[in-house]
Structure 1
Amino acid sequence: MTSQILPPPQGPEYTPCACSHIEPEHEPNAGDCYSCDCTAYRPAVSSVGQAPATDRTALDRIRAMHQPVEGLGYDSDEDDTPGSYGRIAQVCSTCGTADEYGVRWPCSTVRVIDEELRRLAAAPAAVVSGRAADETQAAEHEWFVETRMLDGRWSKYGASRDTAEDGRELFERDISGSRGVHAFRLVHATTTFAVEAEHEPAPAVGGAQQPQEAGRG
């Protein structure tokens, strides 16, 4: 096995494969995975323009593959002559072939990973609006009713409520007040949008037209 040089941690090589392991954990040229039975590196699709984040777990996993073992190689510990061949107390278990052409440990992979891990450990927490990025923020919730307009758009109908119970009561009141002939839905809004309930009116009987506006009771 040839010596592996770890790519820059921010590079595309750190995009996980479908097996969850990154490219340096596979044989060259998108080959077999060293860590599982995956037979080819198949990078997961990432958002356009979004660089893959450094995966600390992946770095630790790769480093664990490069352990110091006793081996044989050039520039041995037994002879100071440059290029001498013989025993080396610590060679990498992954780079080179430890029992024949060992790569002295720590290898370049370990050195690059250790440097990146030190950088991550020393980096301050990102700050957003004066708060640490990893600080849990309480979500704001509101519940409100929407009605469907004649052109098919959903439009907010009345004031918001602070609890799910009040929102449900308002939703049911609006359905009752419009005699069930208008479409309503109860919306729970936080940082995302979710429809929690929806009412579809029964088909009009005898060709009767539906009123254009729903009144509240």
Structure 2
Amino acid sequence: MAQTNAPSSVTDPLATQYAGKLVIQSDAAPAGHCASHETAVANAVATPAAPANDSADGLTALQWQQIQALADYNCALTAFDDPTVGPVIIFPSDYTGDINNLAKPTGWTSMTGQVPTDWPAPTTAESPQFTLAQIQNIRTAAVSQISAASSDTANYSADVRYDGPSDRVVVETDAPASVTDSLVSSYPDEVVITTPPAPDFTDN
């Protein structure tokens, strides 16, 4: 696990290069008016907003960056593309802000320096079952359990993220079922176990 205050433009290529082996947790200062623990947890479990593979969404790359900026600034759990309704931002079930009137980060520019003239209007909703603290508890339990099962001969990876479309916490790990089954039992209908993608070997 790596903890850093570097922006996602720096850390995303590392996470992609070492998929299943590296977990990057942000300790960056809050992007907006979020408490530091809200930002750290949300950044640790969220995935960047992007159109779905089968979506005919017409949003530009700039607009998708704006969706992510809105999610970050307003302490959301995640942002994603729904093929039916378009961009969606999900908040914890105990969120106290106004999800129907999201604050826009003042002075925001894109990663390439573009200044938006207007902002997208995503669909917003609260998680039906998770507070921020509940996701943090699951994340801590998963990482601790998988780390404890690792040894000199088997060093298991663990990547924990919140999945908005399914409203589940996804634990991506190469640990065997004997290690992860108890997680699923402890958090019924809350945790899904997946295996990391196979390394992409290319010929040089």
Same fold (TM over 0.5): no
CA radius of gyration, larger in: 1
- TM-score, structure 2 normalization: 0.22
Which has the bigger relative contact order, CA under 8 A and spacing at least 6? 2
- TM-score, structure 1 normalization: 0.22
